[in-house]
Chains A and B, each alone.
Chain A
Amino acid sequence: MQPELLTGRKAYDETVSTTGGDGMNETLAIETRDVSRIYRLRGPRHKDDPKEIVALKDVSLEVRRGELFGLLGPNGAGKTTLIKILATLLLPTSGEAFVDGLNVVTEMQEIRRRIGMVSGGETSGYGLLTVEENLWMFARFYGLDNRTARERINMMLEVVGLTDRKRTKISDLSTGLRQKMNFVRGFVSDPHIVFLDEPTLGLDVTAAREVRSFVRQWLQDHPDRTILLTTHYMAEADELCDRLAIIDRGHVLACDTPTNLKRRLQREAIFRLRVGPLGPKPRRDEMIESVPGVRQVQVAEKNGHTDLSLILEREDVLPEVLAHLTRRGSNLISLEKREPTLEDVFIDMVGRGLDVDTSHRVDQDHE
């Protein structure tokens, strides 16, 4: 599916849009054209035929300068693979990708001068170095001179509230503090484009909120810079992103603003029901999905009751659903009508939730 290119957070002058020598639009910070990535894994014996895992399939995306663009999908969807290709850590199997107008295969070193990358759940650096030493080292790897490096480190540590810990060894920092330091590392070179790969993974609520706040503030202060964020937290994507692409099993399913994506489900009725236990899984023709007008159902068994998330074509389908539940011996405990969320959009498109790991599939899945 070809993504639509919509106006993002800022207004852009369409008239300045030109095409560069390599065919890349100069208003774009990132562009991918039919990028595919296939991993070939051999079994334990060498004579085993390699299994092919399709991590990305013909992904075409355009991210404009100044955007905070999100990649939303479950674990194993291909988000990190795409970021690795754009950050020059991985070669695409086919297709072309450009970062800041530069080809990710032939102009790697130039790209690295312009990007920063922060991943969630990473170890952040060398545990035996202090926060200041670690940041100084990376700043020098990025080619900053000593004075600039130290000024920026001090200024950014102040922003993230780590000044009093700058002489602490990284191994002595909590996960949240390490991730804050990681952010300073990723941004210290003043990059044109920043890749944030699940940046709030493993953080508590407060730390995750501070990270999101840092990201928002940085983009406000640097309106010409671009961030590509991957996440499987819908609220995070909804809160931060100007536009986002929903990605699943290596395919881009949709690309739009969060509001427009949710608007697709505006005509449907979305309910959250808590009911008595539903018992064993019934035959296919006795499942809730068999009720006419039911589009999607998510079932979660919890502590003696069942939570149902329903997407119905119309509100008047609900009495039929309740009658169906009564016939199956269940009873209604609570009912809530909801506005559509990005997860509803994802469920509507894919037929399952974002918490399903799809990383261990083989190519046959895509046939």
Chain B
Amino acid sequence: MTAIADRILNIPFVRRSDALRTFVVAAWLGWQIESNWADPFLFAIYSLARPIASVLILVVMYAVITDGAMEQPIFSYIYLGNALYILVSSVITGVSWAVIDDREHYRTMKQLYTAPLDGYAYLMGRGVARMLIGTISVLITIGFGLIAFHLPIRLATIDWGLLLLSTALGVASLAAMGLMLGSLTMMLARHFWAVGEMVAGSLYLFSGAIFPLEVLPPWLRPLGFVFPVTYWLEAARRALLGPQALGFPTLAHFSDWQLVGILSGMTAVLIVVSGFFYRWALHQAKEKGLIDMETAY
């Protein structure tokens, strides 16, 4: 892994940019932290068992309630929404958790923030490892769904362009949200470590991950439409399922490319806002002397 990072860092434009250099080194560090806690075999078992176990809980509940109606389109809707949602939690939490991890566990904030690194790129880089692990979990979960529950996904009919573009935008918007939470965490004590989980948990309810937004009371539905996750999940489901996704009511009146357009706009706004928010939070943390605080009380 160090050799790969070395090669990337030696690319001239990466070497010359504080932000790119920081991003690559932080991604390397994040991977070391996420993958080094167990030996590779145990890590592989964990990476395989965790997503399958969590999706099975949902499948069993669905099977009990519907008396085993796995062939219904709503099953694919729930299964894929749940599988893709693994990335939401991984990316948001991965970025925001890095602040608590560095400050309270490794206590390296002083060393990091006296180095000429780009703090925004650092946090983004630290989130990469969890994003990669999340992506593997998504693939495992979908693969398991194909084999065990015969999800109606055909490789030949997948709209790869829509899938990759919407996922890239979705992940970027999630990273920006994670960065805002990470920035907020700079000013909060360690018991807010779960802020990423809390936000990801709330979005689970309002983003159409496991049920269409139409199920929510009318006054709660608008919440779902202001989150980019809703548009990403819809676009990704359409890309994977093709015509079968047309039956899902949420956002049915938008074309695929309208979804991508809205998602692009929201992502751009979130990236800009998160940049300003990070700078403001860093200034506040330095003004209040919170950069390297330890809150193990």
Contacts and interface: CB of A to CB of B under 8 A. Distances in A.
Contacts of B112: 141
Interface residues of A, number: 32
Contacts of A119: 110
B25 A91 contact: no
Interface stretch (B15-23, B146-154, B160-168, B192-200): B15-23
> Which of the listed residues B6, B22, B112 has the most CB atoms from chain A within 10 Å of its own CB?
B6
Interface string B88-126: 000000000000000000111011111111000000000
Given A90-B289, A123-B106, A115 B114 contact: yes
A185 B9 CA distance: 19
- What DSSP secondary structure best describes chain B's contact surface? helix
A117 interface: yes
Interface residues of B, number: 32
Interface stretch (A18-26, A60-68, A128-136, A230-238): A128-136
A39 interface: yes
Given A127-B106, A146-B9, A138 B111 contact: yes
> Which of the listed residues A90, A140, A142, A143 has the most CB atoms from chain B within 10 Å of its own CB?
A140
Interface string A89-104: 1110000000000000
A231 to B, nearest CB: 18
Contacts of A7: none
Contact of B115 (A128, A142, A146): A142
Given A89-B114, A126-B32, A185-B111, A140 B286 contact: no
Contacts of A126: 29, 32-33, 106, 108
Given A117-B110, A125-B106, A126-B106, A141 B2 contact: no
B67 interface: no
Given A91-B286, A128-B36, A140-B9, A112 B108 contact: no
A-B pairs, 5 with minimum CB distance: A112-B116, A141-B115, A123-B107, A113-B116, A140-B25
Interface of B: 2, 6, 9-10, 15, 18, 21-22, 25, 28-29, 32-33, 36-37, 106-108, 110-117, 283, 286-287, 289, 291-292
26 contacts: A39-B289, A88-B286, A89-B113, A89-B286, A89-B291, A116-B114, A117-B110, A119-B110, A122-B110, A123-B106, A125-B108, A125-B111, A126-B33, A126-B108, A128-B32, A128-B37, A136-B2, A138-B115, A140-B9, A140-B25, A141-B21, A141-B112, A141-B116, A145-B10, A145-B15, A146-B9
